[in-house]
Amino acid sequence: MLDLGRLRMLRELEAVGTVAGTAAALGYTPSAVSQQLAVLEREAGARLLAKAGRGVRLTDAGRLLARHAGILLAAAEEAEADLQRAAHTVAGTIRIAGFQTAMLQVVIPASAAVGRAHPDVHVELVEAEVEEALPGLRRGRLDVLIQDEYDGLPRERHADLHRETLLREEVRLILPAGHPLARTRRRPSLAAFAGETWCAAQPGTAHHAMVLGTCRALGGFEPTVRHTTNDLLVLLELVRTIGAITLLPDLIRTGNDTSVVARTPAEGAIRRDVQALTRRTGAHRPALVAVREALVTAAHAAAGSPGRAATARRGP
C-alpha cells in the first residue's frame, strides 16, 4: 500500500526540483525527506530517483508515480470532504495566504468571525504575494489564496482552481497633500505627473505592472520608479514623507489622512478585483465553506465602508 504522505513528498519534489526545497515546503528536514522517499521506492518496487550532480531527479517511473500521486491525493481530499459534510462536521485547519491590504481589511476580520461561529475551525494566515503562494495552493499546502487582478492585466486561469470575486474596487492616484495638483477638486491628468518620482511594488508583481501600464497607456509616459516595496503601507508613507507619486487601491484607506490626497485620474477610472482562489477538489469541506462565506461577508463590509466606491460581487 502506497503511503499518501510519501506520495505528497514525491509530488512536491517533482514540482520544486530539490530535496531541500521539498523539505522546506512541507516542514521536514532534508534527511527525513530522503528517508521517506527511500521507503516509497521500496513500497513501489521501482527506482523513483536518480542522482543528478549533487541532487536528484525523478526517473520515468518517478514521474509516472508523481502524476498518479496528484490523482490519489485529490481523491483523498474529496473523500475527507464528503465524510465531513455527511457528519455535519465544521472543524479542521484552513490555511489562507493573501496580500497585505486584503489580509488587513478582509481576511483577518473573516478569520475572527469564523473563530466565533465555529470554534473547532482553526484558521492559519500567511502574508504572501500571489506569485509565490500559488504553487502551494495547487499542491495542497494552502486552502485559500487571496489574489488581486487589475483591469487589463488578467491573471492566468487554472482549471483545477475555483475563483470567486470578493470585491471590486477603484485604484486611485495618491499625491502628497502639498502637491499643487492636490489643492483642486478637479481630476488631475495622469500625464501631468510624467516628471515626478514614482513608487511601486517590486518588479514582477501585478502592482508594479499596473503602475507602469497605467502610466504608459493613460498618461503616455514611462514613469521614473525610484522606490519599490511590496508593502503598500510603505508606499503610502513614501508619498506622505518623500513626496513620491503612486497608484493605490481603495483597501488602502486614506479618507482620514490629511497628509495625502486620493484622486481618480482625468483619463478614467482604474479598477481591480480581489478574488479568493480554492482548489476544486474538497471545495465542499464544511470548514472551507464556512471560511469562504466569512470572506464574502467581510468583503461586503470592507466595500461598504464610508467614502469608498468598491462593490462586492460573486465571480465566476
Decide: residue 87, CB within 10 A, 0-12 exposed, 13-18 middle, 19+ buried.
exposed
The pLDDT, as a whole number, for residue 2 is: 87
Q: What angle do CA 164, 165, 171 make, to 5 degrees?
A: 155
91-167+275-303 CATH? 3.40.190.10
Query: Of 195, 196, 191, which is closest to residue 220 (Cα–Cα)?
Result: 191
**How far is 165 from 183, CA to CA, in rounded Å?**
35
Work out the number of other CB atoms within 10 angstroms of the CB of residue 217: 13
Report the top-level CATH class of 168-271: alpha beta
Looking at residue 185, the DSSP 8-state letter turns out to be S
Q: What is the pLDDT of residue 304?
A: 75
Q: Which residues pair with 31 in a beta bridge?
A: none
Cβ–Cβ under 8 Å, residues 308 and 179: no
The answer to whether domain 4-85 and domain 168-271 are alike in fold is: no
Distance CA 57, CA 202 (A): 32
Residue 316 · residue 163 · CB < 8 Å:
yes
Cα→Cα distances 53→12, 33, 50, 56, 203, Å:
20, 18, 10, 7, 32
**What whole-number distance in Å separates Cα of residue 80 and Cα of residue 125?**
22
SS3 of residue 251 by DSSP: coil
Element of type H or E holding 135:
helix 130-138
Say how far apart CA 104 and CA 149 lie, in whole Å. 18
User: pLDDT tens per residue, the chain (316 residues)?
Assistant: 789 999 999 998 998 889 998 998 888 899 999 999 999 999 999 999 998 887 889 999 999 999 999 889 889 888 888 888 888 889 999 999 999 999 999 999 999 999 999 999 999 999 998 888 999 999 999 999 999 999 999 999 999 999 999 999 999 999 999 999 998 888 999 999 999 999 999 999 999 999 999 999 999 999 999 999 999 999 999 999 999 999 999 998 776 788 999 999 999 999 999 999 999 999 999 999 999 999 999 999 998 754 343 333 333 3
Residue whose C-alpha cell is 497608484: 247
How far apart CA 307 and CA 44 sit, in angstroms, is 61
The β-bridge relationship of strands 144-150 and 270-279 is: antiparallel
Query: What is the model's pLDDT at position 305?
Result: 56
Q: CB count, 10 Å around CB of 167?
A: 29
First to last CA, the chain: 39
Biggest CA-to-CA distance, the chain: 75
Tell me the fold of 4-85.
Answer: Arc Repressor Mutant, subunit A (1.10.10)
Distance of CA 65 to the CA centre of its chain: 29
The whole-model pTM stands at 0.82
Q: Give pLDDT, residue 163.
A: 96
Domain boundaries, the chain: 4-85, 91-167+275-303, 168-271
Q: How far apart are CA 125 and CA 107, in angstroms?
A: 8
CA dihedral for 144, 147, 151, 157, sign (positive or negative): negative
